C-alpha cells in the first residue's frame, strides 16, 4: 500500500522530468568534424542563440573524417565537412548542404633562411608535388638552387581531414600519398610549422591568418603559388599580404580550386529534427551576414537557393 502511494506521488514528477528531458534533447544541436569550418559554426551558434536562447549547441572539432563518421553513425546531428563528397559517401546516405568557401594554403616558418627567395619566385604545382608526393625534392638547396641548403622539415596531417585531402587533390593524389611527419589537427600543424625554422606545412586560411588583425599568425609565412609557372610571383599572383586580399582572390577564382573549396554540413539523410532544419535555413539566409567577418567567402546566391530548396524537399 505504501509502495502504491509512493509511486502515485513520484509518477507525476517522473513524467515532468521526462518531458523536460525530451524538450531539452529536441532543442539541442550536436555538431562535430572539420577544423576548417569550426570557427564559422561557432559564430553562427553564438548569434543563433541570441535569437533562440532555448536552443543548445554541442560543437567539437576533430577533422572532416570524424565529422562524416559521427554523422553517418547518428552520434551527432550534423558533421562539419571540408572536402569534396565522393560518390561512395553519397551511396552511404550522406546528405549535405554547402555554406561557405575557404582554401588550403601552403606555409613555412617566418624565419626560414630562404623566405625572401621563396616569396619572390613562389613554387609551382609540380614543385609542391615533387616535395609532398614524389619525394624527389627533400632539400631547400635542391628546391631553390642555393648552396649548402638544409633539409626541408615536411609536415602533414595525421587525422583524416579535408585540408589534407584537398591539398593532395591539388597535387594529383590522395591524403595517404602525402609525405611528411603527421600532426593532429589544423591548429597543431600551424603551431608546429611556426616553431620549426625549416618547417613546411599547409593549413586552412583561418589558421594562417588572424581575423582580428588581418595579418598572418605569428611565426607563419605563406608560400605563394606560381600559378602561371613563369618562375616569379607576378603582381596578380601576389595577394597574400592580408586576409582580405586572400579572400578576394578565392572569391574571384584567382586562387586555384582546389585548393579552395566549398565547406559543408552533412548528415545521414535529411535531418528530421525541426531545430536542425531551422538552424540550417537561418545559416543560409540571415547567417550569411557573418561569413566575411569570420574569415570565409560566401557561396553564390544560386547555390544558396539550391540548398534552401533541398531543405524544403
Identify whether the C-beta of residue 108 lies closer than 8 Å to the C-beta of residue 115. Answer: yes
Phi (first) and psi of residue 253, to 5 degrees: 85, 5
Give mean pLDDT, residues 99-103. Answer: 96
pLDDT > 90? residue 17 = no
Taking the alpha carbons of 246, 251, 252, 255 in that order, is the dihedral positive or negative?
positive
Give mean pLDDT, residues 69-73. Answer: 97
User: How many residues would you count in the chain?
Assistant: 313
pLDDT of residue 26: 82
pLDDT > 90? residue 15 = no
Give mean pLDDT, residues 54-60. Answer: 97
pLDDT > 60? residue 271 = yes
Residue with cell 631547400: 140
pLDDT of residue 4: 56
8 pLDDT band, cuts 50/70/90, is low
pLDDT of residue 30: 98
Residue with cell 586562387: 255
* Cα separation, 140 vs 149, whole angstroms: 5
21 pLDDT band, cuts 50/70/90, is low
C-alpha cell at 54: 532555448
* Cα separation, 265 vs 267, whole angstroms: 7
Q: Are strands 153-157 and 199-204 parallel, antiparallel or unpaired?
A: parallel
- Of the candidates 216, 279, 32, 214, the residue with the CA atom closest to the CA atom of residue 203: 216
CB neighbour burial string for 10-38, b if at least 16 within 10 angstroms, e if fewer: eeeeeeeeeeeeeeeeeeebbbbbbbbbb
pLDDT of residue 80: 98
Tell me which of 91-95, 144-148, 201-205 is least confident. Answer: 144-148
Phi (first) and psi of residue 75, to 5 degrees: -70, -35
pLDDT of residue 148: 85
pLDDT of residue 3: 56
* Cα separation, 180 vs 207, whole angstroms: 19
Percent of the chain with pLDDT over 70: 92
10 pLDDT band, cuts 50/70/90, is low
pTM for this model (two decimals): 0.87
pLDDT of residue 123: 98
Q: Are strands 260-268 and 220-222 parallel, antiparallel or unpaired?
A: unpaired
Mean pLDDT of the residues in the chain: 93
Phi (first) and psi of residue 260, to 5 degrees: -80, 155
Identify whether the C-beta of residue 163 lies closer than 8 Å to the C-beta of residue 184. Answer: no
Amino acid at each position: 500500500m505504501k509502495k502504491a502511494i509512493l509511486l502515485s506521488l513520484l509518477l507525476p514528477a517522473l513524467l515532468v522530468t521526462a518531458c523536460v528531458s525530451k524538450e531539452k534533447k529536441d532543442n539541442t544541436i550536436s555538431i562535430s568534424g572539420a577544423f576548417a569550418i569550426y570557427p564559422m559554426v561557432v559564430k553562427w551558434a553564438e548569434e543563433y542563440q541570441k535569437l533562440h536562447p532555448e536552443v543548445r549547441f554541442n560543437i567539437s572539432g576533430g577533422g572532416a573524417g570524424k565529422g562524416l563518421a559521427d554523422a553517418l553513425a547518428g552520434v551527432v546531428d550534423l558533421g562539419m565537412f571540408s572536402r569534396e563528397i565522393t560518390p561512395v559517401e553519397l551511396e552511404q546516405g550522406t546528405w549535405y548542404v554547402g555554406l561557405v568557401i575557404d582554401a588550403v594554403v601552403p606555409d613555412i616558418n617566418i624565419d626560414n633562411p630562404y623566405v625572401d627567395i621563396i616569396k619572390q619566385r613562389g613554387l609551382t604545382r609540380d614543385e609542391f608535388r615533387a616535395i609532398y608526393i614524389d619525394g624527389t625534392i627533400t632539400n631547400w638547396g635542391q628546391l631553390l638552387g642555393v648552396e649548402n641548403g638544409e633539409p626541408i622539415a615536411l609536415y602533414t596531417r595525421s587525422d583524416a581531414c579535408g585540408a589534407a585531402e584537398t591539398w593532395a587533390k591539388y597535387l594529383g593524389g590522395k591524403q595517404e600519398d602525402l609525405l611528411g611527419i603527421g600532426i593532429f589537427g589544423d591548429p597543431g600543424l600551424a603551431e608546429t610549422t611556426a616553431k620549426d625554422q625549416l618547417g613546411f606545412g599547409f593549413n586552412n586560411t583561418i589558421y594562417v591568418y588572424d581575423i582580428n588583425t588581418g595579418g598572418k599568425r605569428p611565426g607563419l609565412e605563406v608560400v605563394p603559388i606560381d600559378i602561371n609557372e613563369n618562375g616569379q610571383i607576378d603582381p596578380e599572383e601576389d595577394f597574400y599580404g592580408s586576409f582580405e586580399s586572400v579572400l578576394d582572390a578565392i572569391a574571384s577564382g584567382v586562387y586555384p580550386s582546389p585548393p579552395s573549396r566549398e565547406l559543408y554540413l552533412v548528415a545521414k539523410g535529411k535531418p528530421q529534427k525541426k531545430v536542425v532544419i531551422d538552424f540550417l535555413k537561418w545559416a543560409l539566409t540571415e547567417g550569411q551576414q557573418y561569413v566575411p567577418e569570420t574569415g570565409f567567402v560566401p557561396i553564390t546566391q544560386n547555390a544558396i537557393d539550391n540548398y534552401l530548396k533541398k531543405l524544403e524537399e
